[in-house]
Amino acid sequence: MFTVRGGACLAMPNRRESDMDEIIRWSAVETAKALAKGDVKVAEVTRAHLDRVADCEPGLRAVVDPLDEAAMAQAEEMDANRPKDLPALWGLPVTIKTNVDFEGHTNPNGIPALNEAICERDAPVVRNMRAGGAVVIGRTSTPEFSLRFFTSNPIWGRTLNPWDKGLTSGGSSGGASSAVACGMGVMAHGNDLGGSLRYPAYCVGGATLRPSMGRVPAFNPSAPAERPPLLQSMSVQGVIARSMGDVRLSYDVLRRRSSDDPLWNAAPDSGRAREDSPRRVGWCVDPFGDGVDSDVARAVEAAVGAAKQAGYEPVEVTPPMAAEAAQTWGLLLNTEIKVMMLESIRKMGSEAVNGLIDTMLELYPPQDVAGLLQAQARRLTIQREWARMFDYVDALIMPVSSLPPMRADQDFEEPESVPGIMKAQRFMHVGNLLGLPAATVRTLDAAPIPLGVQVVGDRMDDVICLDVAEAIERELALDLGPIDPR
């Protein structure tokens, strides 16, 4: 049987079903080490994760497009032609969200009308993962237009949270979070416009990094027109995993340059990172002053305590202009939705998603030209104030949401609760408006789902976010293995 002790993999011959069960428990880092040492073949790892998909699907409706034949063919070819120098993700089983182009498959984005046209080439993030050696074992579900904190759509139905099927697995990368939480791949691609990496990771006790704006190239070759300007400046690509070490493993692979994205940014950091700088971490439980759930507060307290144990100096701070930042995010996004997306939503979206959009347009009224330009100018003021805060602290620990994970499809089934939902999620909107990196890390084994926090950094200080979040994770030493939804 395979066992893992301190990251070392011990292989025995005559692999049995229990061996395959052990493989899916390995982290991405552990799997990479086992593959590098030759203790296990790529085909064995791939087969174990595909078997896990077969065990869990279609029940969870997370991996909605399994790629067994292509994945096994790739794995066997990799074993037969093993390179001398292995790329960082060589042989690692991953999933891709169904809202980016994937050659030979559709990019429906949760919309039946778009589930027909076949993509002719990969999006840059897919190319980077493939170039890094990853084996794509399937594609994951997303809500219509990827505009919700809940994952269900008319094509594949509701994605279930493997911890508690009555709660959301998050959105819009809810298929990704559900998949990786129960071992269907060691990491899962996702993206984030208003929290769509951080909230799904939070909803399954997972780990992620919302990279700085421009850090990871983004583009869909099949798109009939360019992404609207505000999506260009607020939406990013990344991965969800079960540990911060696994997220870090993917980081250099994801951020490789692509000429498809002229907005890609190669800056190594914010320019303020110095080895001799104080290891000072800010923290804030309630930047909006509206109160948070008691378990959410405990998750922040656990993170602060762990950061202190790891050698950081915790400093309580009040993030500047937080409420205005969240409101500005909504005004800018909804102005763009009305001008550039609303016609398509009305035409192709379900009645439920159109009702949600109506509520959102009331909460964040679209602006006229003067209002749009004023909001854009105000964004720069807020960015400057947050940059000044990061002159004093290396990173900021704060909640992902003011509430534990919400009920599945709560926005559709209880439309009167949408204002409260958006109020709870403001913690994430600030990072999107300002283009900041933010890691999500588990810090509290609450019931029924573990909770975590965000570690937010200055623009381009992604590595600092990873460093702080990984130090917190290391000090807390929680069980981050996959769960069995059966």
The catalytic site residues sit at: 97, 172, 196
Tokens describing residue 378 = 């105000």
HSE value, Cβ hemisphere, 13 Å, CA-based, for 483: 19
**Closest to 7 measured CA to CA, from 195, 276, 246:** 246
Cα–Cα distance for residue pair 273/228, rounded to 1 Å: 32
Q: What is the CA radius of gyration of the chain?
A: 21
Helix (H, G, I), strand (E, B) or coil at 226: coil
The set of residues, in sequence order, having a beta carbon less than 8 Å from that of 188 and lying 6+ positions away, is 94, 95, 97, 140, 173, 175, 176, 177, 179, 180, 239, 240, 241
In one-letter notation, the amino acid at residue 339 is V
Tokens 């000429």 belong to which residue? 259
Torsion of CA 300, 306, 309, 313, to 10 degrees: -40
Contact 257, 213 (CB under 8 A): no
| Percent of the chain that is helix, strand, coil (3-state, to 5) | 40, 15, 45
Residue 140, H or E segment: strand 135-140
The structure tokens 């005559």 sit at 14
Tell me how far apart the alpha carbons of residues 453 and 457 are, in angstroms, rounded to a whole number: 13
Three-state SS for 396? strand
CA distance 37 to 41: 10
Query: Are residues 365 and 226 in contact, defined by beta-carbon separation less than 8 angstroms?
Result: no
- Look at residues 183, 195, 177 and name the one whose alpha carbon lies nearest to residue 140: 177
Q: Phi/psi of residue 105, each to 5°?
A: -135, 170
Is the omega angle on the peptide bond into residue 169 within 30 degrees of 0, that is, cis?
Answer: no
